[in-house]
């Protein structure tokens, strides 16, 4: 049975130009616009004629290819898994959605055949009084009857011969016109490895349909069953995946509706602000007209910036929605119209595509807002020698203008809280004067990037944010401060965390005699002594520094780090004194 002789079906999603095929989209190629001939199913679930795909200009890239590939093909079903190696990868772009298609080793003809398309094209040909259908045996005459047993379309002459043969004498013959109400009249799907055998079995180990010869050859000792027995399990898995995909279509449609509403609100707001600017400028004649033109240009720049952002988000969501719809519509059509074997053959491509689409991340909310206001009372400097008023403000934080402040920006101590302040500013470098921004802070050890330090961000509601964190260990840390997923000025930066401040083991006293209660054995790090066998210092006696100090290290500052290292001649226990 030649796959290039008969018109076949392709399933076409929404084209980039916005055109739709309606019912013809299931039977006509999006490139040649004719009935499908040898249709191939692409990984993006679009179907195109084999000859049309071969006419597309391929491109070559270097890719790491192994036993698993993004491109599922019927020809690759029976190839052995090869070790991963660096090989040139040939690919094309889908003519419908412009998705990249990595071709298998056999090229375009190794892509999956769309058997569901072949059935629909044949049905359409039947509804057109058989036009275009030729006999499966002689390939010369028009079809008159169909053998329901052999699933073959026959002309009058071949039908007579079919009845005369002993093996086919009792086959059921049906007039072609009587098949117009049928929804399934496809031919048997033959094994690509054994063309004389029909695919009736399913190898569970290899997850692919096989024939009788396959199970006694390459798939010997593999668990297998009839396709009619396993279709329920595999069909249910595809239905569950379809169920998970359908909500995304509704979410994307809602997101596009919000985009449209925000765009309308933006246009209305721009027009309102422009009207305010024009009204305010009338009283200043030439000077104000010049100032007005500057304001309108600034407003136009804001509009273009916001509108471009909305249009970009809209285009991305529309493309994703088109891909989602293509996947949902194709899968629904496959599950409702495809045979058990057709579902099993196409399952791999469908599951792979729907899984990939479900992993795509998108924002269901507009990326920009319509926050534009005109402040007529705000001073705007001088224009042509006149003091002018009126300024346009979006009051959106600009991460590149934000400032980090604080003594602990680049230094900290282990197990002690360090802090700094973030001052948020707009694009003009002015303080926001309000809070509510999404500030994200991460403190990551340089040698332990998978163990970030817990941070606290306090909104002061005045455009400043108090950030604090407590490093557990000494070392070098990287601090990242972001607003709207963009680094602020000076971020990221490094912080050197030193060891914890050493406390004093002794006492801060005026002298050893007073702090120890007159003990003769008590000593002090200042080195002072007293007559009478006293080993510590005393007021007015030899070695006393004349001011309060620490008994452990001799420092004069009460709030200081102890410098005693344990290397002095006096035992550490003797350096401790008793506070009265």
Structural domain boundaries enclosing 416: 395-498
Output the pLDDT for position 383.
82
189, part of any domain = yes
Residues 441 and 399 sit within 8 Å (Cβ to Cβ): no
pTM beyond 0.75: the answer is no
364, part of any domain = no
* CATH code (residue 480): 2.60.40.10
The answer on 410 and 332 residing in a single domain is no
* 184: helix, strand or coil: coil
CA distance 397 to 417: 28
262, part of any domain = yes
Residues 207 and 348 sit within 8 Å (Cβ to Cβ): yes
To the nearest 10 degrees (0 to 180), the angle between helices 340-358 and 227-281 is 30
DSSP 325-340: HHHHHHHHHHHHHS-H
CA distance 470 to 454: 7
The answer on 156 and 127 residing in a single domain is yes
For residue 39 the two structure tokens come to 């249709």
Q: Give phi and psi for 141, each to the nearest 5.
A: -100, 160
277, part of any domain = yes
Output the pLDDT for position 261.
93
The answer on 348 and 249 residing in a single domain is yes
pLDDT < 70: residue spans in the chain: 1-25, 61-88, 125-133, 177-187, 282-284, 566-580
CA distance 160 to 164: 6
The residue among 201, 227, 253 that closes a domain is 227
The answer on 176 and 97 residing in a single domain is yes
517, part of any domain = yes
Output the pLDDT for position 125.
67
The answer on 321 and 259 residing in a single domain is yes
Structure confidence by residue, pLDDT tens digits, 214-234:
988 888 889 988 888 888 888
Output the pLDDT for position 271.
92
577, part of any domain = no
15, part of any domain = no
Q: Are strands 475-483 and 486-487 parallel, antiparallel or unpaired?
A: antiparallel
The answer on 223 and 298 residing in a single domain is no
Q: Which residues contact 382 (CB under 8 A, 6 or more apart)?
A: 388
The answer on 314 and 282 residing in a single domain is yes
The answer on 202 and 91 residing in a single domain is yes
The residue among 176, 202, 227 that closes a domain is 227
The answer on 164 and 53 residing in a single domain is yes
The answer on 202 and 131 residing in a single domain is yes
The answer on 294 and 422 residing in a single domain is no
The answer on 462 and 511 residing in a single domain is no
Residues 61 and 343 sit within 8 Å (Cβ to Cβ): no
190, part of any domain = yes
Structure confidence by residue, pLDDT tens digits, 244-293:
888 998 899 999 999 999 999 999 999 999 988 877 776 668 888 888 89
The count of domains in the chain is: 4
């Amino acid at each position: 049975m030649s796959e290039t002789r008969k018109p076949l079906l392709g399933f076409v999603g929404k084209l980039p130009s916005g055109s739709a095929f309606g019912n013809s989209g299931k039977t006509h190629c999006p490139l040649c616009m004719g009935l499908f001939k040898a249709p191939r199913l692409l990984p993006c679930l679009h179907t195109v004629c084999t000859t049309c795909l071969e006419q597309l200009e391929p491109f070559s890239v270097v890719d790491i290819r192994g036993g698993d590939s993004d491109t599922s093909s019927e020809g690759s079903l029976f190839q052995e898994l090869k070790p991963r190696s660096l090989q040139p990868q040939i690919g094309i772009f889908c003519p419908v959605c412009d998705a990249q298609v990595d071709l298998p080793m056999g090229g375009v003809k190794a892509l999956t055949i769309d058997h569901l398309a072949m059935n629909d094209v044949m049905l359409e040909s039947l509804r057109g009084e058989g036009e275009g259908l030729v006999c499966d045996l002689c390939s010369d005459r028009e079809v008159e009857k169909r053998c329901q047993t052999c699933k073959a379309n026959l002309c009058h002459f071949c039908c007579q011969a079919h009845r005369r043969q002993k093996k086919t004498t009792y086959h059921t013959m049906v007039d072609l016109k009587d098949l117009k109400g049928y929804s399934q009249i496809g031919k048997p799907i033959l094994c690509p490895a054994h063309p004389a055998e029909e695919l009736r079995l399913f190898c569970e180990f290899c997850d692919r349909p096989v024939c009788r010869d396959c199970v006694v050859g390459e798939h010997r000792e593999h668990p297998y069953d009839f396709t009619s027995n396993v279709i329920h399990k595999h069909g249910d898995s595809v239905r569950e995946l379809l169920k998970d995909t359908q909500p995304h279509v509704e979410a994307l449609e809602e997101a596009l509706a919000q985009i449209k509403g925000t765009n309308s609100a933006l246009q209305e707001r721009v027009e309102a602000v422009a009207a305010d600017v024009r009204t305010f400028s009338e009283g200043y004649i030439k000077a104000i007209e010049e100032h007005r033109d500057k304001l309108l240009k600034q407003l136009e720049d804001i509009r273009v910036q916001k509108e471009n952002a909305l249009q970009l988000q809209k285009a991305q969501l529309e493309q994703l929605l088109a891909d989602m719809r293509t996947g949902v519509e194709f899968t629904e059509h496959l599950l409702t119209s495809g045979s058990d074997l057709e579902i099993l053959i196409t399952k791999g491509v469908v599951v792979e595509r729907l899984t990939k689409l479900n992993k795509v991340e998108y924002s269901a909310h507009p990326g920009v807002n319509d926050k534009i206001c005109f402040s007529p009372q705000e001073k705007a400097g001088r224009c042509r020698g006149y003091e002018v008023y009126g300024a346009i403000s979006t009051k959106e934080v600009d991460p590149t203008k934000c400032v980090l402040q604080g003594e602990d920006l680049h230094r900290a101590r282990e197990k002690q809280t360090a802090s700094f302040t973030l001052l948020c500013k707009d694009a003009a470098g002015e303080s926001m004067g309000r809070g509510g921004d999404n500030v994200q802070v991460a403190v990551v050890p340089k040698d332990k990037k998978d163990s970030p330090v817990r941070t606290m961000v306090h909104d002061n509601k005045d455009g400043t944010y108090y950030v604090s964190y407590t490093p557990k260990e000494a070392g070098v840390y990287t601090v990242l401060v972001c607003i709207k997923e963009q680094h602020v000025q000076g971020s990221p930066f490094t912080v050197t965390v030193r060891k914890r401040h050493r406390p004093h083991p002794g006492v801060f006293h005026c002298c050893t005699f007073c702090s120890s209660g007159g003990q003769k054995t008590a000593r002090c790090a200042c080195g002072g002594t007293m007559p009478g066998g006293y080993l510590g210092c005393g007021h007015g006696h030899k070695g006393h520094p004349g001011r309060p100090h620490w008994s452990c290290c001799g420092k004069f500052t009460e709030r200081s780090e102890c410098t005693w290292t344990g290397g002095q001649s006096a035992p550490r226990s003797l350096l401790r004194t008793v506070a009265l």
